[in-house]
Structure 1
Amino acid sequence: MTGRLSRFLLTMLVFGYAFLYLPIATLVVYSFNESRLVTVWSGFSTKWYGALLENEALLAAAGTSLLVGVVSATAATILGTLAGLALARRRLPGRMLFTGLLATPLVLPEVILGLALLLLIVAVQGLTGWPAERGIGTIAIAHATLAMAYVAVVVRSRLVGLDPAIEEAAMDLGARPAAVFFRITLPMIAPGVVAGWLLAFTLSLDDLVLASFTSGPGATTLPMAIFSSVRMGVSPQINALATVIVLVVTVVVLVAGRLVFAGGQRR
């Protein structure tokens, strides 16, 4: 009976990994397809990578997405870390309300959130004149608004597992709250902060709905460019670009995992 259960679990595990990663592997393979038709293999070629380097519009969209991702992930990590710290270490009035408001972006459909942010941006623009136009800044604000909720959840779960007596002992010995945070709390929750940043960056890089609502004519993110090109037919350059992104993300995840593992070993 145990052997049958083990074989069943192994089969389900293989099926799950195949379901997740086989499409990505197929995309990588077809990025080296010589044919312009992405579903017909006609031979090995790297010409689409060369064509990608000459596609200024697609590269500009990729650069915009990377810039928005870094800015929004950094802002979301700062705000989400502070929110997670307040929820885990402080007795706030209206704590349950704050927790509910923070969790709302996690369950709210992105269409509704995007429309709400668009109306807010238009209202603020009419009252203050800022922002002058919708673009990279407004997209970054929208992405940070969504991602900070995820970061707060990750950081809070990390803080809940830590003994607050360590921080209290440091303050009893005369350390100021800022020194306790930067020299004791932050190093202990660093893996959660890094994980939150990576999650926020991934959400920003992948988002299409919020960017479509909050972008202007001068800012096009990579998902927007891909979505508009897919409606006219998938170009093999998209496969090449996706392969490059998969490679970069894999390297970043491996490096981040290495750093987190090394930090855990030192502790």
Structure 2
Amino acid sequence: MRGSFASLYLACATIAAIAIGTPANAYRAPVEETRVALGDPINRSRDIAYETDLYCLTLAVYFEGGSTGETEEGQRHIANVVAARARANRQIWGGDKICDVVFYKRSKVCQFSFACLPVKRRTAIKGNAWRYSKQIARDELEGRSGLEDRLLRYYMNASLTPPKNACRFRKEFVPVVQAGRHEFFREASRAERRALEKAEHEECKKYEASLKKKKHAKSRKGAKDVKTAKGPKNNVAGAAAKKQPPKKVNVAKR
């Protein structure tokens, strides 16, 4: 401990001596030199743009799969979709920046659902899951994901997706691979789109059944409301009729 304090004192004294013996307008107190003098090495080759992309992509991988126990294969495909959208540089996905894609919102709807959560709920817990998602994001950015470009631009966890949205996916996009809990899709050609729209999909059947159920429940509720509205009026009329005295009948005199 004494040796450490002695080294620290010597370093500070050296810097102070330099500062005192140098004109104020010529000395700018370089933070880097101070840190080096204190034994803190400096990485002068930091790529801030890369680190920003890495952080945003890690967030997407973590919240879209890593924090919910998605498999490695599923997380790698999620990272691939996010990066592929940025490479495509399309305005409907947010442009060519990873962070812009991850946090893109249109008509109050977020491209990735976690981005619309309150800040507290989309603040990652920096544990093993975070580190694992970060490594997957780094592999994707540095070309080590091991995935070939199959034009995957969409994915869906069918077990967590409402039937309406799941039906739309089935009618618009071509399924390519199931990776972990997510299914990944590519965009369809015109011919493929027509075929998808004509095909029968289980999710669409569920959605249609839910619409019929809601319509039936609404009609039953409407009928019940009408019956309830009519009932009290009839009862009041009946009670009023009972309370009224019998009418006198005039008999013609002969």
- Scaled to the shorter chain, the TM-score interval is under 0.3
Compare the two structures and name the one with the higher helix fraction: 1
Q: TM-score, with normalisation over the residues of structure 1?
A: 0.20
User: Whose Rg is larger?
Assistant: 2
Q: Which has the higher strand share?
A: 2
Q: Which has the higher contact order (CA 8 A, sep 6+)?
A: 1
